[in-house]
Homo-oligomer: A and B are copies of this chain.
Amino acid sequence: MKRREFLTAGISIAATSIVASNTFSSVSFAATSERPMQILALVFDDYETLDLHGPIEMLGHMKNVEIKLVGAKSIIRSYQGPRVVTDLSLDSVTPCDLLIIPGGLGTRKLIEDQVLMRWLREQQKVSDKVFSICTGSALLAKAGVLDGVNATTNKMAYNWVTSLSNKVNWQPSARWVDDGKYLTSSGVSAGIDAALFYVEQLRGKSEAKRIQALTEYHWNDDATNDPYAVET
């Protein structure tokens, strides 16, 4: 590859992250109207493609937004095959407006990764809002981030995810659950609906509707309308 190209990217990356050697930084994050909104998305091998790129599609159409990927390696492979390039590493935490945690088959192994668990606990402290899609909530639950929080997850993997923590108030019927700082969505494409809800919450219904029309999307804008709800 063009090595220079990647190094150039590396420079801009270093400038935006807080690098810590042994301990993570946890600088509080004051939003200003001047700077672009900062969205950070975790990626890992075998992440589910649409969990990540569905919300990125919708959120990326808001004005004045910067979306960056963070992961343990320079190049991350999705479950479907194609690879993405990370902008930030797990050696640091980065204050942001929104932290996106996708799901996918990769989460089955990742729940045992203590480096990631520690990063999640520290990164979420410097994130104004945390948004998980599908089994991304398994990572947050295992890290203890969702203790006492109302949350949901992929209904096909409901039994596995909910078995990881009995301290989360798991919701068996919800397209998404918004509980203050934590927004958790149901499986895969539910993340697109939840992302548009977040746009509405942040910038108003008309902005969410503008992006829905722009993307010719059929938005399920009712969090209680869950066609894949599970019986418990």
Residue ranges of A at the interface with B (Cβ–Cβ < 8 Å): 1-3, 5-6, 9, 41, 48-50, 52-54, 56-57, 59-61, 66-69, 73-75, 78-85, 87, 154-156, 186-190, 192, 213-218, 220, 227-228
Contacts and interface: CB of A to CB of B under 8 A. Distances in A.
A213 B83 contact: no
Given A1-B1, A49-B57, A75 B6 contact: yes
12 contacts: A9-B83, A49-B57, A50-B54, A56-B82, A57-B80, A57-B188, A82-B84, A82-B85, A83-B84, A187-B214, A189-B215, A216-B228
A188 B216 CA distance: 6
Contact of A67 (B66, B80, B84): B80
Given A67-B80, A82-B84, A73 B218 contact: no
A84 B84 contact: yes
Contacts of A87: 82
A133 B199 CA distance: 24
A6 to B, nearest CB: 5
A140 B134 CA distance: 35
- Counted per complex, copies of this chain come to 2
A217 to B, nearest CB: 4
A218 B214 contact: no
Contact of A75 (B5, B41, B73): B5
A213 B213 CA distance: 24
A186 B73 CA distance: 36
A50 B3 contact: no
A214 B48 CA distance: 11
Contacts of A188: 57, 214-217
A190 B214 CA distance: 11
Nearest to A60: B80
A82 B187 contact: no
A52 B52 CA distance: 12
